[in-house]
């Protein structure tokens, strides 16, 4: 049966987007893209069919699928015995239970998992952890993984197997959002890049210094994209945490982990 390849992904600082595109290249087929990073792209429900295959990819936040995405997926994305590939991208600390949670959410919505993977991306908080990742080697692994999955989907033994991925129950406690201000300094030129890319629509489009702290998920898109480095998280506890975090995780090198039925 001819299958239609679909890519469904959220990527605030673009690392996740790179991995999913390399996996898709390995399939060597045209793919329909659903980039759900911006809020206006998470309004409609999507119903996938039996002859679709969907690669679903999210970044890891506090060892979990970002909370607003798990709610969105459960409410608005439905399958019909649709084959799915689950991918998480994490910042070199750990992916904990995020991959298992992603699989559980989608298998609960009538998708059938055929493969899963955890890749490493430069940490949203700092370029000192996993700098430049996914790098060429990671993307090569992603490409070959896509190729292997596409072959597997056409093989007969897929019907009798169930996908297993790493993770534990109960899931790790996820993000607890204290309302924290992203600071904007006087260098801000109100260019609109941050507000245009904000996944939560939290930055005022006419006054880019004004951020709704109750909407902000601290994905760091605005900080990383700012052309004049006007945005940062400046409060003391965060600075102390980040220093220790860099000490612990900058020298570690983790590699992608792949699972297939
Ligand atoms: C709020 C938040 C929480 C995060 N939690 C984790 C984590 O638990 N483990 C980890 O290794 N990386 C964590 N990261 C890092 C991201 O998972 C990683 O940088 C990822 O590549 C970002 O994907 P993106 O570029 O597609 O936004 C976190 C990042 C943010 C913004």
- Residue 147 sits in the same domain as residue 230: no
pLDDT for 211-222, tens place per residue?
A: 999 999 999 999
pLDDT for 97-135, tens place per residue?
A: 999 999 999 999 999 999 999 999 999 999 999 999 999
> If you take atom 17 of ligand 1, which residue's CA is the nearest one?
90
CB atoms within 10 A of CB 201: 13
The answer as to whether 239 is a domain residue is no
pLDDT at site 157: 67
- Residue 216 sits in the same domain as residue 142: no
- Residue 17 sits in the same domain as residue 124: yes
- Residue 132 sits in the same domain as residue 159: yes
Residue numbers in the chain where pLDDT is lower than 70: 1, 156-157, 159
For a ligand 1 pocket test, name from 13, 14, 59 the mutation site with the most ligand atoms within 8 angstroms of its C-beta: 59
pLDDT at site 178: 77
The answer as to whether 146 is a domain residue is yes
Q: Domain count for the chain, please give it.
A: 2
Q: Is 63 in the pocket of ligand 1 (CB under 6 A)?
A: yes
The answer as to whether 178 is a domain residue is no
pLDDT at site 75: 97
- Residue 12 sits in the same domain as residue 62: yes
For a ligand 1 pocket test, name from 61, 120, 173 the mutation site with the most ligand atoms within 8 angstroms of its C-beta: 61
For 140-162, letters b (16+ CB in 10 Å) and e give ebbbebbeebbebbeeeeeeeee
- Residue 64 sits in the same domain as residue 139: yes
pLDDT at site 161: 83
Q: CATH code at 224? A: 3.30.70.20
pLDDT at site 154: 82
- Residue 87 sits in the same domain as residue 204: no
Atom of ligand 1 nearest to the CA of 16: 26
- Residue 52 sits in the same domain as residue 134: yes
- Residue 148 sits in the same domain as residue 201: no
The answer as to whether 19 is a domain residue is yes
Instruction: Give 104-109's long-range contacts (Cβ < 8 A, gap of 24+).
Output: 105/65, 105/70, 105/73, 105/74, 106/56, 106/73, 106/77, 106/79, 108/74, 109/73, 109/74, 109/77, 109/78, 109/79
Atom of ligand 1 nearest to the CA of 13: 25
For a ligand 1 pocket test, name from 15, 88, 90, 232 the mutation site with the most ligand atoms within 8 angstroms of its C-beta: 90
Residues spanned by the domain of 18: 4-168+252-260
- Residue 218 sits in the same domain as residue 115: no
The answer as to whether 241 is a domain residue is no
Q: CATH code at 142? A: 3.40.50.360
- Residue 100 sits in the same domain as residue 38: yes
């Amino acid at each position: 049966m001819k299958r239609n390849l679909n890519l469904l992904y959220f990527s605030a600082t673009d690392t996740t987007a790179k991995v999913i595109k390399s996996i898709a290249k390995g399939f060597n087929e045209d793919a329909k893209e659903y980039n759900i990073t911006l809020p206006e792209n998470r309004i409609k429900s999507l119903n996938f069919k039996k002859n679709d295959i969907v690669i679903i990819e999210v970044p890891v936040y506090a060892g979990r699928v970002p909370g607003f995405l798990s709610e969105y997926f459960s409410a608005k994305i439905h399958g019909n015995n649709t084959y799915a590939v689950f991918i998480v991208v994490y910042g070199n600390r750990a992916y904990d239970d995020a991959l298992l949670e992603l699989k559980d959410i989608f298998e609960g919505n009538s998708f059938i998992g055929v493969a899963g993977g955890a890749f490493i991306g430069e940490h949203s908080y700092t370029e000192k952890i996993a700098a430049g990742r996914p790098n060429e080697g990671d993307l090569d692994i992603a490409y070959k993984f896509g190729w292997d999955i596409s072959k597997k989907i056409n093989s007969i033994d897929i019907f009798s197997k169930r996908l297993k991925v790493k993770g534990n129950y109960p899931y790790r406690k996820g993000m607890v959002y204290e309302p924290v201000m992203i600071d904007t300094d006087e260098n801000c030129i109100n260019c609109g890049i941050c507000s245009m890319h904000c996944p939560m629509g939290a930055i005022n489009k006419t006054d880019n210094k004004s951020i709704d702290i109750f909407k902000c998920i601290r994905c760091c898109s605005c900080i990383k994209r700012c052309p004049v480095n006007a945005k940062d998280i400046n409060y003391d506890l965060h600075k102390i945490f980040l220093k220790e975090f860099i000490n612990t995780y900058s020298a570690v090198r983790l590699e992608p982990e792949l699972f297939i039925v």
